[in-house]
């Protein structure tokens, strides 16, 4: 545990030092559970978002993307169930006044048991918790906390209040004339923007079921226990896809997307051993099947993506509250030769947090390496082995010295490459220091221009992951990098 924590603290410090992630409004001491992405973090995030978007929309001819507004009509959230149900059971410690999400409090205790080698106790505790949560048995959950002598991390007492539900939506006012305002919500998920546009997209795009609508964008949740860096934030970004299917075929598509999404995460360089499925015991009010894809973060396996079979719950609810028909006319023929006709489609959803994905990629890529050099002395480096296709910079172009026309050659390569991919030019410091800095930022390739370049038109290419170097033709630099990043 101590090592995991150290490793996680190192990763957080590294993100700040190398322009990936900063605490929001840091000069005012930050804002709890809100973060800003710096120059490298923003580029990594964009690259992951683009990779997802391309996979969903360009590589699936039956999925299109939209960009709906964050503000939606307040009835949207009544229909979706968020006004009445989007709450978590919470418990307060009377001494420290600290509030905890009940499942997090129990899970943290279970993790402690696991670390003490009490695997069976851990398993039994989580099993009991799942059973009580699925019945909304708050008295039972409080008993479970007391029986296990679970204490507050701050006061170290078990002086607990009763368990209560807290809604997680942020609200605000629309309009400036007092008395005429309406309470509206910052969307807690992007999915509803897709549901309310279902018929707009289906009709204007002449989409035929099965088809999907994808969207990426900000979501907001007033998380009570906001912790673990960008894992749980109050403002975050989701990448969601709702796949509309014929009722009765939803389990087939649910299994399809479950497998498909796991493969997608592996394509981001995340090894299969760090990913696993976690089936939901307690299903949300809208779902008839649900699974999480979990990633092994430095603090243990946690949800990265949710795949939910949402039935026709959302479209039916919106149809009822808006009084507008949200049906699809299926003109495929039945056995009797007549069209299947109107129905409300069922929906399979894939929903992944972009910030959690950034954290997964960064923590999977981060390595603090030490080795012995040929002369027996120790050397070390910190490297981010981010896959080249999503790394913020693909190539660093480094003139060995700031003179002898080497910078001019380097800038020529930069100009040639920058239309096609992000390249970084750097002439300060020794070449060794510049390589280390590029390792720490996660730049997969460096080319160095030296005096030999002027003689034979070759440069040294250095590979981040192996640190191997070889000479290649100057004229081939762009072509070689293009091959490696695609
Ligand atoms: P959790 O149980 O961790 O609160 P959830 O089950 O409420 O997550 P969903 O509503 O299924 O999450 O949202 C889909 C995805 O959005 C999650 O898998 C996660 O990647 C991301 N996500 C949800 N809440 C947050 C948050 N507060 N900060 C960052 N990402 C989040």
Residue 104: the pLDDT is 87
Please give the CATH topology (third level) of the domain spanning 88-160.
Answer: Herpes Virus-1 (3.30.40)
Residue 24: the pLDDT is 95
Check pocket membership of 356 for ligand 1, CB cut-off 6 A. yes
Q: Point out the ligand 1 atom lying closest to the alpha carbon of residue 231.
A: 29
Q: What is the pLDDT of residues 104-160, one digit of tens each?
A: 899 999 989 999 999 999 999 999 998 898 788 999 999 999 999 999 999 999 999
Contact, 161 vs 92, CB < 8 A?
yes
Contact, 23 vs 314, CB < 8 A?
no
Nearest CA to ligand 1 atom 16: 353
DSSP character string of 202-228: HHHTT--SSEEEEEEEEEE---SS--T
Strand, helix or coil for residue 163: coil
For ligand 1, mutation pick of 238, 239, 280, 310 (most atoms within 8 Å of CB): 238
Contact, 378 vs 372, CB < 8 A?
yes
Nearest CA to ligand 1 atom 31: 353
Structure tokens at 177: 């004339």
CA 381, CA 442: separation in Å to the nearest integer? 12
Q: Give the Å distance between the CA of 418 and the centre of ligand 1.
A: 36
Check pocket membership of 351 for ligand 1, CB cut-off 6 A. yes
Placement of tokens 């919106």 in the chain: 318
The rounded Cα 319 to chain-centroid distance in angstroms is 31
Residue 178: the pLDDT is 58
Check pocket membership of 236 for ligand 1, CB cut-off 6 A. yes
Instruction: Output the CA angle 78-83-89, nearest 5 degrees.
Output: 150
Domain ranges for the chain, please list them.
2-86+168-361, 88-160, 393-485
In CATH, 2-86+168-361 is 3.40.50.2000: no
Residue 134: the pLDDT is 77
Residue 176: the pLDDT is 66
Residue 285: the pLDDT is 75
For ligand 1, mutation pick of 35, 166, 236, 283 (most atoms within 8 Å of CB): 236
Q: What is the pLDDT of residues 164-175, one digit of tens each?
A: 988 899 999 887
Nearest CA to ligand 1 atom 25: 232
Give pLDDT < 70 ranges for the chain: 1-6, 176-181, 225-227
CA 313, CA 403: separation in Å to the nearest integer? 68
Q: Give the Å distance between the CA of 147 and the centre of ligand 1.
A: 29
Given its phi and psi angles, is residue 149 left (phi above 0), alpha (psi -120 to 50 degrees) or beta?
Answer: left
For ligand 1, mutation pick of 133, 170, 306 (most atoms within 8 Å of CB): 306
Nearest CA to ligand 1 atom 19: 353
Residue 181: the pLDDT is 62
Residue 1: the pLDDT is 42
* CATH class of the domain whose range is 393-485: alpha beta
């Amino acid at each position: 545990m101590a090592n995991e924590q150290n490793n996680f603290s190192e990763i957080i410090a590294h993100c700040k030092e190398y322009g990936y992630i900063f605490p929001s409004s840091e000069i005012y001491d930050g804002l709890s559970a809100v973060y800003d992405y710096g120059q490298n973090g923003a580029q990594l995030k964009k690259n992951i978002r683009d990779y997802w978007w391309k996979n969903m929309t360009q590589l699936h001819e039956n999925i299109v993307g939209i960009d709906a507004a964050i503000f939606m009509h307040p009835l949207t959230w009544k229909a979706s169930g968020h006004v009445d149900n989007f709450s978590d059971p919470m418990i307060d410690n009377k001494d420290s006044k600290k509030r905890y999400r009940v499942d997090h409090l129990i899970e943290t205790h279970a993790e402690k048991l696991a670390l003490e080698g009490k695997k069976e106790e851990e398993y039994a505790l989580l099993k009991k918790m799942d059973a009580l949560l699925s019945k909304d048995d708050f008295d039972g959950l409080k008993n479970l906390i007391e029986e296990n002598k679970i204490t507050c991390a701050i006061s170290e007492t078990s002086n607990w209040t009763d368990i209560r539900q807290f809604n997680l939506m942020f609200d605000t006012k629309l309009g400036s004339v007092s008395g005429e305002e309406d309470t509206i919500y910052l969307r807690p998920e992007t999915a509803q923007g897709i549901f309310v546009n279902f018929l707009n997209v289906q009709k204007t795009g002449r989409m035929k079921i099965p088809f999907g609508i994808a969207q990426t964008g900000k979501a907001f949740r007033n998380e009570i226990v906001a912790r673990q860096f960008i894992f749980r934030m109050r403002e975050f970004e989701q990448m969601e896809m709702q796949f509309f299917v014929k009722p009765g075929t939803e389990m087939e598509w649910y299994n399809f997307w479950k497998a498909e999404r796991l493969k997608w995460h592996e394509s981001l360089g995340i090894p299969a051993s760090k990913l696993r499925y976690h089936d939901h015991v307690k299903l949300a009010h809208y779902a008839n099947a649900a699974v999480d894809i979990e990633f092994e973060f430095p603090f243990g396996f946690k949800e990265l993506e949710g795949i939910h079979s949402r039935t026709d719950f959302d479209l039916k609810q919106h149809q009822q509250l808006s009084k507008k028909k949200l049906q699809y006319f299926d003109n495929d023929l039945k056995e009797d030769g007549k069209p299947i006709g109107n129905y409300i489609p069922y929906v399979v959803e894939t929903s992944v947090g972009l910030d959690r994905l950034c954290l997964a990629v960064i923590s999977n890529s981060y390595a603090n390496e030490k080795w012995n050099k040929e002369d027996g002395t120790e050397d070390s480096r910190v490297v981010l082995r981010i896959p080249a296709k999503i790394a913020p910079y693909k190539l660093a172009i480094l003139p060995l010295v700031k003179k002898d026309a080497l910078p001019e050659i380097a800038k020529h390569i930069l100009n040639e490459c920058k239309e096609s991919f992000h390249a970084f030019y750097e002439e300060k410091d020794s070449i060794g220091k510049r390589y280390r800095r590029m390792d720490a930022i996660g730049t997969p390739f460096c080319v160095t221009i030296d005096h030999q370049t002027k003689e034979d038109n070759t440069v040294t290419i250095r590979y981040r992951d192996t640190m191997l170097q070889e000479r290649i033709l100057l004229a081939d630099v762009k072509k070689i990098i293009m091959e490696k990043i695609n």
